[in-house]
Amino acid sequence: MAYHERSYRIGFGGGLTQIVKYLLIINIALFVLQRISPQDIVVQWFGLSPQLAIFKFHIWQFLTYMFLHGSVMHVFFNMLFLWMFGCEVERTLGSKEFLKLYFICGIGAGILHLIFSFEATVLGASGAIYGVMVAFAILFPERVITLLLFFVLPIQLKAKYLVMIFVGISLLSLGSNDGVAHFAHLGGAAIGFLYLKLDWRLDFIGNWIRQRRDSKHAVTKLKRNQAMHEIRERVDEILDKINEVGYDQLSEAEKRILQEASQKYSQEKEPEK
């Protein structure tokens, strides 16, 4: 049976991957620190407040809000789902690419929340987690996952259906007053989809920069070669004149052209030494 068709049981049997382990440790440690610190100060400075992020330029909040959580259950379920889906995604994409996916989804989720829910401060890694869950569903759509409903009743669902249920719940909950940042959830899910399904990576920025640089170098080289060709043609004409009437009969402009051409030829040869 093909690998992607195998049943996949969520359980504490597999080892943690490197980035998931670090994210779990950091999130839990910061949640403890958050609990023993003045809540208002921590949330005000490090939660994502649209008013502060935009008008006070607290742009670090687009990153730091992912490491704060509103309750024990909030951080517990976020870390549970990060462990459940993140390890497999990290093994498939690689640690560097997984970390990039995680932060892009989390930051993008915060931006979408800011656009559609400008008044509310948001906390939590849920946007990033939704992006990781969607990535899992794209990479392993037919993977059958066994879960314990209410930690008692075992159920089995394919990954693509399970993630669709989570996304659907957030979609249907838009506009409710349940205190959950559903726009952030949907933003993370949408960006996770774009990142993998459409191969939407930050690599295209580097590729674009390299293409621009290579194009600029090519144009510069072409212009330099063209200029040297024109100089050679002019020098050939002057040399022919020297053969006919002698160097002393050259004009000052022609002598200057020969001198400049000699300097340019020397400069062209220097890189070859």
Burial class (CB in 10 A: 0-12, 13-18, 19+), 104: buried
11-25, 122-136, 196-210: the lowest-pLDDT one? 196-210
Q: Which residue has the higher pLDDT, 32 or 154?
A: 32
Distances (CA, A) of 27 to 66, 67, 134, 190: 8, 5, 21, 23
Q: Which residue has the higher pLDDT, 229 or 35?
A: 35
DSSP assignment of 128-188 equals HHHHHHHHHHHHSTT-EEEEEETTTEEEEEEHHHHHHHHHHHHHHTTT--SS--HHHHHHH
Q: What confidence score (pLDDT) does residue 145 get?
A: 79
Q: Which whole number is the average pLDDT over 198-227?
A: 65
Q: Which CATH superfamily is domain 3-201 in?
A: Rhomboid-like (1.20.1540.10)
Q: Which residue has the higher pLDDT, 136 or 159?
A: 136
The answer, yes or no, to whether residue 197 has pLDDT greater than 50, is yes
Choose the most confident range, by mean pLDDT, from 21-25, 159-163, 214-218, 229-233. 21-25
Q: What confidence score (pLDDT) does residue 228 get?
A: 73
Residue ranges covered by each domain of the chain:
3-201, 205-272
Q: Which whole number is the average pLDDT over 244-254?
A: 75
Burial class (CB in 10 A: 0-12, 13-18, 19+), 27: buried
The answer, yes or no, to whether residue 69 has pLDDT greater than 80, is yes
Question: What angle, rounded to 10 degrees, do the helices at 252-269 and 203-245 form?
Answer: 140
Say if residues 157 and 166 touch (Cβ distance below 8 Å). no
The answer, yes or no, to whether residue 70 has pLDDT greater than 70, is yes
The answer, yes or no, to whether residue 104 has pLDDT greater than 80, is yes
- pTM exceeds 0.75, yes or no: no
